[in-house]
A and B are shown apart, each in its own frame.
Chain A
């Protein structure tokens, strides 16, 4: 462990003993915390039959699955559209024409500075469209702008020699881009792109706030029902593993691609982007 940071020396026997003691103490505290939460859950009656019984019914399961389907539909549409918009805006930002570059920059910077939710509400309330298009439009504008920056930095991260060599061979700018720079950039930026899609997936839950009938909305409908004893906690316990699971598998996929790219000789000319979603904004 100490290989990773400058903080600690390699522990000697005394330090190791001390660490074991701390470890035992910390484990005890954490277990006590978990136990306390579990106790609270039982104490407030979160595991009663009435609260969990609804999940056994097919109608409820279908309601949840329909919600999940709607979430995934919004995600898929938004993902495809933001990739397209990202490509377009990146082209604009890399353009040689100054006005085009300026316009693309303004668009990208504006939409990156605005909260996604404000855009979703704006499209929904002011432009008066249905919830799904409003959600998709908001997500596309935001993620498209972020992806444009990812693409651009990908293209810029390809070694200068590649571009120079291509120009020296007599290629035009478009050719240099499509045959030389973009393929390498996309390869190197793939992990960052996938990580940004995780953000898009997470943000589909904003649809709940404009009454798009997605996964969380289905959960709310079950949770706020007096007939089922208001199973808020059970609903959270059912829904969140699925949400977190989906996002984590996608994050993991991004990490896997990153590890592969780092060892692949084909992406040697550009530094593979780190797949850590932490480097991206929440």
Chain B
């Protein structure tokens, strides 16, 4: 039981590390995912192909392999960055493929008639997008994006195994110090539960506020 109280500092450091990784990677994943989704629905063939290739390849790549390639491969290109940045890059790119798919299916759920009606009212492309399509797509996209981000938080554990400071990695320090390993893991599990439950609560709130059923 005193595993937590004795090593609160270690746990807090790991917890904040996981949180930091999750937040930064989420931002990257959302931005990249949005970009790729807009590529995939663009009327330009080559962008569509690029988006499709991005999503297909990343979705079928094991995340561990991606970490391996980014953390150990990219430095061979002469690109030397802190491990944390690499980890954010790997996690963000990987998750962006899933975010892209969620966004794209969200856009596809907006009935075609909506766009046609908007255009026949004389709205420009920007107005159609901003006033008609995105608000509707946004609502249906909240739950899938939420679960993707929860998965991201869980996947951040892999970064710990590649020597980035985060929650799972604390077990190594604590087992070196000779603490009871089962309790160590119980508190690690609690830490992850706090993060995943917080994300899920956040998205529940968002869904309550905006996700009106059509």
Contact = CB atoms under 8 A, between A and B. Distances in A.
Interface of A: 1-9, 11, 15, 19, 22-23, 26-27, 30, 40, 44, 46, 113-118, 121-122, 125-126, 198, 201-206, 208-209, 216, 219-220, 223-224, 230, 232-233, 236, 239-240, 243-244, 247-248, 251, 276-279, 281-282
B9 interface: no
Nearest to B188: A118
Contact of A125 (B78, B110, B158, B175): B175
A208 B67 CA distance: 11
A244 B61 contact: yes
A248 B56 contact: yes
A1 B43 contact: yes
B165 interface: no
Given A6-B112, A282-B95, A277 B44 contact: no
Contacts of B112: 3, 5-6
B35 to A, nearest CB: 13
Contacts, number: 179
B32 interface: no
B1 interface: no
A248 B110 CA distance: 29
Contacts of B156: 115
Given A8-B43, A240-B65, 15 more contacts: A6-B132, A7-B107, A11-B43, A26-B50, A44-B77, A117-B158, A118-B192, A126-B185, A223-B72, A232-B72, A240-B61, A248-B56, A282-B59, A282-B97, A282-B98
B71 to A, nearest CB: 10
Contacts of A8: 43, 115, 125
B196 interface: yes
A22 B88 CA distance: 31
Given A115-B168, A281-B151, A282-B94, A6 B44 contact: no
B157 A118 contact: yes
Interface residues of B, dominant DSSP: helix
A220 B68 contact: yes
Interface string B101-121: 110010110111111100100
Contacts of A44: 76-78
A203 B107 contact: no
B129 interface: yes
- Which 10 A/B pairs are nearest by Cβ-Cβ distance? A278-B101, A6-B115, A205-B62, A247-B60, A115-B154, A205-B64, A209-B161, A202-B62, A115-B157, A281-B151
A5 B77 contact: no
Residue among A15, A243, A244, A282 with most chain B CB within 10 A: A282
B148 interface: yes
A276 B59 CA distance: 10
B107 A209 contact: no
Size range of the interface on B? 35 or more
B57 interface: yes
A99 B151 CA distance: 29
Contact of A40 (B41, B43, B77, B157): B77
B59 A118 contact: no
Contacts of A236: 65, 68-69, 73
A122 B168 CA distance: 10
A44 to B, nearest CB: 6
B4 interface: no
Given A115-B192, A239-B65, A244-B61, A276 B101 contact: yes
B10 interface: no
A16 B32 CA distance: 27
Contacts of B61: 202, 240, 243-244, 247
B19 to A, nearest CB: 14
Interface in B139-186: 144, 147-148, 150-152, 154-158, 161, 168, 171, 175, 181-182, 185
B64 A278 contact: no
Nearest to B184: A126
A1 B154 CA distance: 36
Contacts of B154: 113-116
A262 B107 CA distance: 23
A243 B45 CA distance: 28
B60 A251 contact: yes
B76 A209 contact: no
Given A7-B41, A278-B101, A115 B107 contact: no
Nearest to B137: A6
Nearest to A223: B72
Given A19-B44, A113-B192, A30 B64 contact: no
Contacts of B125: 8
